[in-house]
Amino acid sequence: MSYRLFLFFRDLFLSCVTIGRVVVKSKWFIRIPQRKDSENIIVLGNGPSLAVNLSRDLVVLEQHPVLCVNGFALSEAYEKIQPACYVLADGAFWADELPEKTRHFVDSTLDAIAHKTRWPMTLFLPAEGLRSFRRKKIGILSNPYISVQEYNATVLRGFKGLVHALLQRNLGMLSRQNVMIPSLILALNMGYKRILLLGADHSWHRNLFVTNDNLVCLKDDHFYDESQPPVTIMIGNRPSRLHEQFEAIAKALRVYWEIVAYMQKKNAVIINASELSFIDAFPRAKLQDLF
């Protein structure tokens, strides 16, 4: 069997699995709000390099629509920038049982969003996250400034044409491994034509190390917190292996090339303006050169 034939049958199988997932898991007829005036949106990752932009480019960030993610509300910059959109993708934000440290981070983030937000903002949540928020009566839902918008996080694989058609209909995502992936897809589906990416360091490989006991540890730093101590990476109830971490990193970086194809279909451009970034899929520029 030729390699091309193998790829065809692989994509055929994945397409069938994807259709089944969408039928069973996805919520139909979700409408994503469309952009209003600006064709630009700035998407903020929380990598350490974002600190440079927040100190140097704050005026630019205050003048354009901004999309932020995860723990950004914990920073002082949150109320200054007043993001138009906020995206959550990690299941920890609506999980019932969490380690104490993760629970503190989740509760602090949700509390900051609920109490700091005093401007119109759309909070994007996967459908299962919104159901959990309603069940727990999370305070965010009572904030009149926050419009909660659900999205489908069903993973889409298979033939490119099928995947793009499902993406356009808001029936799933290319991956939910990293919050930047749904953030970029949502920005494209909102109709933004120029998406600027900041703080997308993706430098996890620099912070991985193996102890003398062969435990794989990660020092996961963000711009908004002080340097964190390394933690042992767990998969379920067992320690992760190093090759599993590099496979996960490769998978995340590969998806950005799939986003490039969807970006071109949408006649848009994503520019990586991060001060430091290991994403090699998007054209690069400095933020100060774009405005």
Say how many domains are in the chain: 1
Task: Count CB-CB contacts under 10 A for residue 279.
Answer: 20
* Angle between helix 242-265 and 160-168 (nearest 10): 70
- 95's CB contacts (< 8 A; 6+ apart) are 106
What are 168's two structure tokens? 């356009």
Q: How far is CA 265 from CA 82, 181, 188, 191, 268, in A?
A: 30, 17, 10, 12, 8
pLDDT digits (tens, 9 = 90+) for 17-40: 999 999 999 999 999 999 988 899
How would you classify residue 198: left for phi > 0, otherwise alpha for psi between -120 and 50, otherwise beta? beta
Alpha helices (H) along the chain: 3-25, 50-56, 58-63, 77-81, 100-116, 127-136, 160-168, 180-189, 242-265
- Please tell me whether residue 83 adopts helix, strand or coil conformation: coil
Q: How far is CA 18 from CA 14, 42, 161, 213, in A?
A: 6, 31, 13, 40
DSSP secondary structure letters along 157-219? -S-HHHHHHHHHTT--BS--SSTHHHHHHHHHHTT-SEEEEES----GGGGEEE-TT--EEE-
pLDDT digits (tens, 9 = 90+) for 190-231: 999 999 999 999 888 888 889 888 988 887 777 776 667 788
* Residue 146 DSSP one-character state: E
Closest residue by Cα to residue 64 from 189, 186, 174, 192: 192
Structural domain for 210, as ranges: 3-289
> pLDDT at position 5, please?
87
Distance of CA 155 to the CA centre of its chain: 14
pTM (2 d.p.): 0.93
Which residue is it, tokens 């435990």? 215
Mean pLDDT by runs of 10 across the 291 residues of the chain is: 84 95 94 91 95 93 96 95 97 88 91 96 93 86 95 96 97 94 98 97 86 86 72 85 91 96 98 96 94 84
Write the CATH number for 175: 3.90.1480
